[in-house]
Chain A
Amino acid sequence: MSATATTQVFPSFAQVYQGLAGQIGMLREMAPQPTKSDEQRLKGAVDTLIEDTNADEAVWLESCIHCGQCTTACHYFQSMQDAKYAPMRKMDLYRRVYQREISPMRWWHRLVSKPVKLSDFEEAKELIYDSCTECGRCTMVCPMGIDTASLVHHMRSAMVAAELVPPELAALRMEQKHQGTVFGSSPDKLKEMIDTIREQAGVEIPLDKASAEVMVLSSAVDLVANGNGLLATAKIMNHLGVDWTICSDGFESANFGLLSGDMTLWKQQADPIVAAAQRVKAKTVVIAECGHAYPALRWNPMLRSGELPFEMMYMSEFLGKQAKSGKLRLKPLEQRVTFHDPCKTGRRGGAFDEPRAVLKAMDADLVEMPNNKEYNWCCGGGAGIFLLQDATELRDESFKIKIREVNETGAESVVVSCASCRLNFESGRQKNHWDKRVESLVELTAAHLIDDDESAAATSAQGAAQ
């Protein structure tokens, strides 16, 4: 069976998914209500857009010629065939604000266009949250190269000011803002999980070392649901003999500031991680398999990472570098697999080669999907959309594109390297009774480590996947 099923300590990922789905249902009731007046909310949204608009955004907003090409690239439009999901429509409201407030022709637009209302932002909510994973595939086809995902991200910031964040994201944003946790993933929870892993799996996780070469981040999914993720990470780090630690004051990869568009909260989450890494004199920070954490830390344009004394890399990059240098040797994976590039680490992150190097180290029969790497179809669950109840139909319908793509490869398993993608794949697998296995790269790697005493026998074909 698969990597997860051989480990008895924690529930399988199929059970993890079902457990989390129940918790997500409760988020809607915990969502905060708007606290400001409608005028303040509208002003806040418009002011946010004005502040966020630089020449880049202005050029993109000016460039659209309504040629319609972006619709061919968007999984939501393709699965729903509904005009409102066309990527170019997702910037319409932003453009109206731009034209009236910033454009060199604003005097003209103020004469001929109606002022933007709060209800316009309310109507845009579905376009900005439910139907855009900020995956960037539309940028790949746009003749003007417009980066719609960036514009949608600014719109999400405006939605925060307008207090129009969808209830699930709003509830988690509030939790992370006030308690510093996601689904209750506190430092105590981390310690509890580390104790469980030590006692039941006999694997040591060095918590809060004074100094370490490698600082590893975890994520809420690992702590409150899928203990196998953290266990797999620990097994690999210990196996490699890395001097590593997890810091209880900076371990959470998930950033609901970035997901909801609240960049103040983004900073509140990112700063302690940077501080912890500097304190332990880390040379490398490894970001857990949580796709959005990659742009939150590694690629965030506001994080002056060029001047930091450590390097940040995604779990798949870390594993790939170890595999490429020959330090990570793995047992063969005797099956045909395909790899799904998460939007945030693939097209919008550039970590293409490393996860493939890990699969190569397992000697896997890797077959690429028809649209792969930069052109990969989004699974439909990114940018927080996996959590949104209102987006269920969009998510389920668009996932059928992914099923088609994977089926065409003839692979038995699809390997992912992002907890959101994995949850969405698991949801799609169960709903469609899909006969594929969904594997996480880090858990697959941990299940194929070659123990030193058995390394002599490792080249024999037995043992790995079945």
Chain B
Amino acid sequence: MTLLDFARGPAIHASLIILVAGILLRLVGVLVLTRGADLSRPRDAFGNFKGYRTVFSRAWPASEFNAATVYQTAMAYIFHIATLIVVVGIVPHIEFITSLTGLSWPGLPNFIGVALGTIALVSLIALIMRRLSNPAIYNSTVGDYVTWIIVALPLVTGLMAFAHVGFRYETMLALHILSSALLFAYLPFSKLMHAFWFIFSRAQSGLAYAHKGVRI
């Protein structure tokens, strides 16, 4: 079995199983905890439902905080959107998804894929530069840096494999798949779980404040 066969086969499959099982373990493990009831009388009998707006409204910071947050928010958006399009939009990825699920859709031209991958990597570097240059603001832990590296690796190896830089193509491709497998297996046990938590966390706070007639 070559390295590429290992990456394409057992490694990526195991990582996807860990990904799904890990996400379920963590989500269910938390969401089954009891919820403390707020017994106080709401300001407006049906006002609490307005709290769900926070799930959407918090997608961009309020203008009061613009000056301080706009750089990071913009970079984070560029990173998330570019990465997401690359993950589901380029032909080799679609072929892999098709092999697992049977679903397929037309892929993006190569040059767009490369451009988006580069944009994603540059925005990720822009974010870590800011984290490194403002230590007081970020309160960074080892986990923050490990997470950054694990997220950056698939991007770097993917771009290198495409551009035929570094080791020979098969090796680079194997490294790309292995680094993706690492990312999948790591996601449920790290702060990358925010991909799920944000919905619950925003909704909870939105409801708690809406109960008092406050829109956050």
Number of A-B contacts (CB under 8 A): 170
How far apart sit A104 and B189, CA to CA, in the bound complex (Å)? 10
Taking CB atoms, residues of chain B closer than 8 Å to A308 are 41
Within 8 A of B (CB), among A217-275: none
Taking CB atoms, residues of chain A closer than 8 Å to B140 are 66
How far apart sit A33 and B197, CA to CA, in the bound complex (Å)? 41
User: Known: A63-B198, A88-B139, A145-B201. Contact between A371 and B64, CB under 8 A?
Assistant: yes
Which residue of chain B has its CB nearest to the CB of A301?
A: B38
CB-based closest 3 A-B pairs: A104-B29, A350-B213, A72-B68
When the two chains form their complex, are residues A143 and B58 in contact, meaning their CB atoms are under 8 A apart? yes
Within 8 A of B (CB), among A364-386: 370-371, 374-375
When the two chains form their complex, are residues B65 and A83 in contact, meaning their CB atoms are under 8 A apart? no
* Chain B interfacial positions (CB closer than 8 Å to A): 25-26, 28-43, 54, 58, 61-62, 64-65, 68-69, 72-73, 76, 131, 134-141, 144, 189, 191, 193-194, 197-198, 200-206, 208-209, 211-216
Interface centre among A60, A140, A143 (most CB of B within 10 A): A143
How far apart sit A55 and B36, CA to CA, in the bound complex (Å)? 8
- Identify A105's interface contact among B26, B68, B205, CB under 8 A: B26
Taking CB atoms, residues of chain B closer than 8 Å to A306 are 39-42
How far apart sit A330 and B28, CA to CA, in the bound complex (Å)? 57
User: Known: A69-B72, A140-B216, A301-B40. Contact between A62 and B197, CB under 8 A?
Assistant: yes
When the two chains form their complex, are residues A375 and B189 in contact, meaning their CB atoms are under 8 A apart? no
How far apart sit A146 and B214, CA to CA, in the bound complex (Å)? 15
User: Known: A54-B36, A139-B216, A350-B43. Contact between A68 and B134, CB under 8 A?
Assistant: yes
When the two chains form their complex, are residues B197 and A59 in contact, meaning their CB atoms are under 8 A apart? yes
In the assembled complex, how far is the CB of residue A345 from the closest CB belonging to chain B, in whole angstroms? 10
When the two chains form their complex, are residues B194 and A55 in contact, meaning their CB atoms are under 8 A apart? no
When the two chains form their complex, are residues A59 and B34 in contact, meaning their CB atoms are under 8 A apart? no
- The B interface, classified by DSSP as helix, strand, loop or mixed, is helix
When the two chains form their complex, are residues A304 and B39 in contact, meaning their CB atoms are under 8 A apart? yes
When the two chains form their complex, are residues B40 and A303 in contact, meaning their CB atoms are under 8 A apart? yes
How far apart sit A230 and B156, CA to CA, in the bound complex (Å)? 69
When the two chains form their complex, are residues B202 and A374 in contact, meaning their CB atoms are under 8 A apart? no
- The A interface, classified by DSSP as helix, strand, loop or mixed, is loop
In the assembled complex, how far is the CB of residue B95 from the closest CB belonging to chain A, in whole angstroms? 32
When the two chains form their complex, are residues A144 and B69 in contact, meaning their CB atoms are under 8 A apart? no
- Identify B33's interface contact among A58, A86, A350, CB under 8 A: A58
User: Known: A89-B139, A374-B214. Contact between A302 and B65, CB under 8 A?
Assistant: no
How far apart sit A65 and B197, CA to CA, in the bound complex (Å)? 10
- Identify B205's interface contact among A68, A147, A302, CB under 8 A: A147
- Identify B41's interface contact among A67, A305, A350, CB under 8 A: A305
Taking CB atoms, residues of chain A closer than 8 Å to B141 are 66
Which residue of chain B has its CB nearest to the CB of A351?
A: B213
Residue-by-residue, is A300-327 near B (CB-CB < 8 Å gives 1, otherwise 0)?
1111111010010000000000000000
- State how many residues of chain A have any CB contact under 8 Å with chain B: 58
How far apart sit A384 and B168, CA to CA, in the bound complex (Å)? 65
When the two chains form their complex, are residues B35 and A71 in contact, meaning their CB atoms are under 8 A apart? no
When the two chains form their complex, are residues A59 and B40 in contact, meaning their CB atoms are under 8 A apart? no
In the assembled complex, how far is the CB of residue A103 from the closest CB belonging to chain B, in whole angstroms? 7
* Chain A interfacial positions (CB closer than 8 Å to B): 53-56, 58-60, 62-69, 71-73, 81-83, 86, 88-89, 102-105, 108, 139-147, 150, 298-306, 308, 311, 347-350, 370-371, 374-375
Taking CB atoms, residues of chain B closer than 8 Å to A370 are 64
When the two chains form their complex, are residues B25 and A104 in contact, meaning their CB atoms are under 8 A apart? yes
Which residue of chain A has its CB nearest to the CB of B25?
A: A104
Which residue of chain B has its CB nearest to the CB of A85?
A: B136
When the two chains form their complex, are residues B39 and A302 in contact, meaning their CB atoms are under 8 A apart? yes
How far apart sit A55 and B62, CA to CA, in the bound complex (Å)? 27
In the assembled complex, how far is the CB of residue B165 from the closest CB belonging to chain A, in whole angstroms? 31
In the assembled complex, how far is the CB of residue A465 from the closest CB belonging to chain B, in whole angstroms? 31
User: Known: A69-B61, A299-B40. Contact between A348 and B194, CB under 8 A?
Assistant: no
Q: Other than A56-B204, A301-B36, A303-B39, give 12 A-B pairs with Cβ distance below 8 A.
A: A68-B72, A71-B136, A72-B65, A81-B136, A102-B33, A103-B30, A140-B65, A145-B54, A147-B205, A305-B39, A306-B42, A370-B64
Taking CB atoms, residues of chain B closer than 8 Å to A140 are 62, 64-65, 216
How far apart sit A139 and B205, CA to CA, in the bound complex (Å)? 8
When the two chains form their complex, are residues A68 and B62 in contact, meaning their CB atoms are under 8 A apart? no
Taking CB atoms, residues of chain A closer than 8 Å to B204 are 56, 59-60, 145, 147
When the two chains form their complex, are residues B136 and A349 in contact, meaning their CB atoms are under 8 A apart? no
In the assembled complex, how far is the CB of residue B106 from the closest CB belonging to chain A, in whole angstroms? 33
In the assembled complex, how far is the CB of residue B135 from the closest CB belonging to chain A, in whole angstroms? 7
User: Known: A303-B39, A350-B212. Contact between A375 and B62, CB under 8 A?
Assistant: yes
In the assembled complex, how far is the CB of residue B189 from the closest CB belonging to chain A, in whole angstroms? 7
How far apart sit A82 and B136, CA to CA, in the bound complex (Å)? 6
How far apart sit A81 and B136, CA to CA, in the bound complex (Å)? 7
In the assembled complex, how far is the CB of residue A212 from the closest CB belonging to chain B, in whole angstroms? 21
When the two chains form their complex, are residues B40 and A66 in contact, meaning their CB atoms are under 8 A apart? no
Taking CB atoms, residues of chain B closer than 8 Å to A311 are 41
How far apart sit A142 and B204, CA to CA, in the bound complex (Å)? 13
How far apart sit A53 and B42, CA to CA, in the bound complex (Å)? 22
When the two chains form their complex, are residues B136 and A350 in contact, meaning their CB atoms are under 8 A apart? no
In the assembled complex, how far is the CB of residue B81 from the closest CB belonging to chain A, in whole angstroms? 15
25 A-B pairs in the complex with CB atoms less than 8 angstroms apart? A56-B204, A59-B30, A59-B197, A60-B201, A60-B204, A64-B191, A65-B194, A66-B138, A66-B139, A66-B191, A69-B69, A69-B72, A71-B137, A89-B139, A102-B33, A104-B25, A139-B216, A140-B64, A143-B61, A145-B54, A145-B202, A145-B205, A299-B212, A302-B39, A350-B212
